[in-house]
Amino acid sequence: VQVDIFDNQSVKQGDVLFAIDPEPYRIALAQADAAVAGARLNVEQLRAAYSQALAQEKSDESQVQYAQSQYDRAADLAHKGINAKSSLDEAKNDLDKAKQQLAVAQQGIVSAKAALGGNPDIETDK
């Protein structure tokens, strides 16, 4: 703060009595702008993680469907005595792994959505 008057000095309307240094406020504003930009970037990264989790879920759902059809086919052949039980066990193992991967992907969606405050469509300016 710069004081432009002295003790007992006469002043009239319009005289500048003091001036505040704007530099600390400019610095604070720049820091706030940087923080906002960082928050916006963080939201965009969280949205990307959410989208990636959705894509992973879709891929894993497809893998579960494929593994289920392979298991059903192996079970049918095993019941007819055409296929070895080990093939059925392998198909069952593949199906179980696919289901576990799907569960992990679904948990990833829940986590990504929670990181976005429960709203994956959240606007960055709100």
21 Cβ contact list (under 8 Å, min separation 6): 1, 2
Q: Does the structure show a pLDDT above 80 at 110? A: yes
* Comparison of pLDDT for 126 and 91, the residue scoring more: 91
Would you put residue 117 in left (φ > 0), alpha (ψ -120 to 50) or beta? left
pTM across the whole model: 0.72
Side-chain half-sphere of 16: how many Cα atoms within 13 Å? 7
Distance, C-alpha 40 to centroid of its chain: 12
